[in-house]
Amino acid sequence: MVAAYLGLQLSEKLALDVAIGSGDADRKTGAQTKNDIDRDFYAANLTYAHWHGAFQVTGKASWLHGKEDVGDNVFAGTKLPGTGGTTKLNQGKLGAEVGYWIDGFMPYVGVAYARDTSRTKTVEPWDKTALVWSAGVNFFSLKNKITGGIGYQGESNRSHTENDTWTANISMAF
Beta-strand pair 105-119/2-9: unpaired
Query: Based on the structure, what is the number of domains in the chain?
Result: 1
Cis peptide leading into 107, omega within 30 of 0?
Answer: no
pLDDT digits (tens, 9 = 90+) for 56-111: 999 999 999 999 888 787 887 787 787 777 888 899 999 999 999 999 999 999 99
Domain enclosing residue 43, as ranges: 2-172
CB contact burial 17-47 (16+ within 10 A = b; e otherwise)? beeeeeeeeeeeeeeeeebeeebebbbebeb
What is the phi-psi region of residue 10: left when phi exceeds 0, alpha when psi lies from -120 to 50, beta otherwise?
Answer: alpha
Q: Residue 37 belongs to a domain with what CATH number?
A: 2.40.128.130
* Residue 21 to residue 3: CA distance in whole angstroms: 4
Backbone angles phi, psi at 77, to 5 degrees: 85, -5
Q: What pLDDT sits at residue 106? A: 96
Beta-strand pair 2-9/33-52: unpaired
* Residue 35 to residue 28: CA distance in whole angstroms: 7
Q: What pLDDT sits at residue 102? A: 96
The pTM assigned to this predicted structure is 0.74
